[in-house]
Amino acid sequence: MAINTQFKNKVVIVTGAGTGIGADTAILLAERGAKVVIVGRREGPLREVEKNIQTLGGEVLVQIADVADLDMIEKVVKNTLAKFGALHYAVNNAGVSGENCQITDLPKKVWDETISINISSLFYCMKAQLGAIDKSGGGAIVNVSSVFADRGLPQRAAYSASKHAIRGLTRVAALDWATRNIRVNELQPGVIETPMTNTNPEESAQVATTIAVKRLGKPRECANAIAFLLSDDASYITGEEMAERGV
């Protein structure tokens, strides 16, 4: 497949890039000419994404890091600048689902881990990314949350709380950096076919019957939306939430 030029000479960091939405986003952006830094905790899946990007003829840097560790994230940005000389875009996609239970039964350890990975890590990522994007002349960030960023998901207190928090953090970043030529938006995926949903195919099939289009979303469909929000086609869009849920 030929590389097109939509993101030619642009550099993007994608977190949670080993599987699902992150993997498809990294590959799509590489197809469109971006130099891609793929970030995740597990090396194996990242190497598979790396192979796919290299097959396209794209440039890719693998970074094994825990997004909930600020020092690691700062090192990722430093290594990105050392490798490619700039940073223009970021897709902050890493996240976990937490545990399915009542608030009174939710272990503190699970709460702390979910909040750390789903929202504290987003703060760490933007804290490290924004200055680098600014020095590179501006760009855009997409924070991936969930359609449950504006509604409650029963028995998923930590997950729902963390996704609601992404909305606030995204809006503040958008306001603070708008005059610096940096746009910050949020994608709210619905139920998407990922390793997370594939662990319970019966439940996924049941959920699909409640969706207007009668199917789950595909990671590539989310990747297309993310690419739009990063692109110059969305040059007047910042601080917004794009919901992708099939109604």
CA-based end-to-end distance of the chain: 33
**How many other C-beta atoms are found inside a 10 Å radius of the C-beta of residue 192?**
22
Sequence ranges of the domains in the chain? 11-241
Place of tokens 């960030």: 141
Taking a C-beta distance cutoff of 8 angstroms, is the pair 66, 124 a contact? no
Query: Per residue in 109-152, pLDDT tens?
Result: 988 998 888 899 999 999 999 999 999 999 999 999 887 767 76
Taking a C-beta distance cutoff of 8 angstroms, is the pair 192, 185 a contact? no
Taking a C-beta distance cutoff of 8 angstroms, is the pair 25, 50 a contact? no
CA distances from residue 29 to 32, 119, 167, 247 in whole angstroms, order as listed: 5, 24, 24, 26
**In angstroms, rounded to a whole number, what is the distance separating the alpha carbons of residues 73 and 125?**
6
Give the helix ranges, DSSP H, for 116-156: 121-135
- Tell me what percent of the residues of the chain surpass a pLDDT of 90: 66
3-state secondary structure (DSSP) of residue 57: coil
pLDDT in tens for each of the 247 residues of the chain? 445 789 999 999 999 999 999 999 999 999 999 999 999 999 999 999 999 999 999 999 999 999 999 999 999 999 999 999 999 999 999 888 777 778 888 889 988 998 888 899 999 999 999 999 999 999 999 999 887 767 767 767 778 888 889 999 999 999 999 999 999 999 988 888 876 666 666 766 776 777 888 788 899 999 999 999 999 999 999 999 998 776 6
**In angstroms, rounded to a whole number, what is the distance separating the alpha carbons of residues 69 and 73?**
6
Token duo for residue 75: 């090192």
Q: What is the pLDDT at residue 94?
A: 85
User: DSSP strand E in 47-181: where?
Assistant: 60-64, 89-92, 139-144
Amino acid at residue number 243: A
**In angstroms, rounded to a whole number, what is the distance separating the alpha carbons of residues 82 and 91?**
19
- 11-241 homologous superfamily: NAD(P)-binding Rossmann-like Domain (3.40.50.720)
**Angle, to 10 degrees, between the axis of helix 157-177 and the axis of helix 121-135?**
20
Query: Per residue in 164-192, pLDDT tens?
Result: 899 999 999 999 999 999 999 999 888 88
Amino acid at residue number 176: D
Catalytic residues: 159
